[in-house]
Amino acid sequence: MKNIYILFLLLTIPFASQAQLSPTIGQFQYVQLYYNPAYAGSSTGLVANVIHRSQWTSLKGAPNTQLATVEAPLRRNIGLGGVINRYKIGSQLLLDMNINVSYRIKIDKESFFQFGLKGGVSFVNNNFDQAFVWDANDAYISMNSNKGTLVRIGPGAYFKKKKFYMGLSSPDLFFIDPNKVFYDNEKSKSTLKRNLFLITGIKKDLNEFIAFEPSLMVRYYQNKPLNVYVNLGFEFNQTFVAGVSYSSPVNFGAYARVSISPKLKIGYRYEFSNEAIKLDNYGSNEIQVSYGFN
């Protein structure tokens, strides 16, 4: 019975996820630029982050993500950032490239607002020729293009004060799909929906050597249940972070991050699910690397 569940899940992955363009990252607090263009330039110097996420490890066709961000503050309160994301699930391949620009409004020496705008393109290839299809005349395949390019534009806002931050964004508020890769011909409308992200966190010093670092991401996606992601980490001696996480629907995880040097940091996160359809011992892995050039 377990194998039947897995087979059913893999066969439906490409079709159930067609209109979802923002894959989940468990260590979201380290790649906020991916979700919010207003985060660009919020660091004190040039910072690059790379994440590899492999979901349901060893399960053929399961989602995997490679994400890279780079951002830095410029003169005149301007911030600039870039994002490249490769996402594969089943037979579908998605490649994103975008530029993010922000403008800072200073409140005082320790707090500021930033407003940002994202502009980018997504290259989509459904690879229908590689997908397993029960019916050669399947309506979904006949209604959608095999490949195409999307234009995606979206705004964001970001606030930071000392060791507290909060951001709100809609990175795909506007999109153009000229090839109708995500389109329902029967209803004559796009199947793409708009994400809305709220990300917040704080760092609270417990004593001279230990700090508490909780972070939260709430994700709204039209016609879908509200998703909540919580990471609860502790930083030790400003060098090592260890924590646990929870995300809906009913996923648990643990993560750690170590500072190899003041510039280089490496993190790892393991996630497992307790959903009704269990995938045996197939967990999800994330590896994260951060480097501050300045």
pLDDT tens for residues 116-173? 999 999 999 886 665 555 555 555 555 556 788 999 999 999 999 999 999 999 998 9
pLDDT at site 7:
42
Give the pLDDT band of residue 272 (cuts 50, 70, 90): confident
CA 287 to each of CA 53, 93, 121, 147, 265: distance values in angstroms, whole numbers, following the listed order: 7, 20, 25, 29, 11
pTM: 0.86
- Give the separation between CA 38 and CA 20, rounded to whole angstroms: 22
Above 60 in pLDDT, residue 38?
A: yes
Query: How confident is the prediction for the chain on average, in pLDDT?
Result: 85
Above 50 in pLDDT, residue 94?
A: yes
pLDDT at site 181:
83
Above 80 in pLDDT, residue 14?
A: no
> Average pLDDT, stretch 170-194?
85
pLDDT tens for residues 216-271? 999 998 878 889 999 999 999 999 999 999 988 778 999 999 999 999 999 999 98
- Give the separation between CA 283 and CA 62, rounded to whole angstroms: 11
pLDDT at site 16:
40
> Average pLDDT, stretch 105-126?
94
Above 70 in pLDDT, residue 274?
A: no
pLDDT at site 142:
52
Give the pLDDT band of residue 275 (cuts 50, 70, 90): low
Above 50 in pLDDT, residue 8?
A: no
pLDDT at site 278:
52
Write out the CATH class of domain 2-292: mainly beta
- Give the separation between CA 243 and CA 218, rounded to whole angstroms: 19
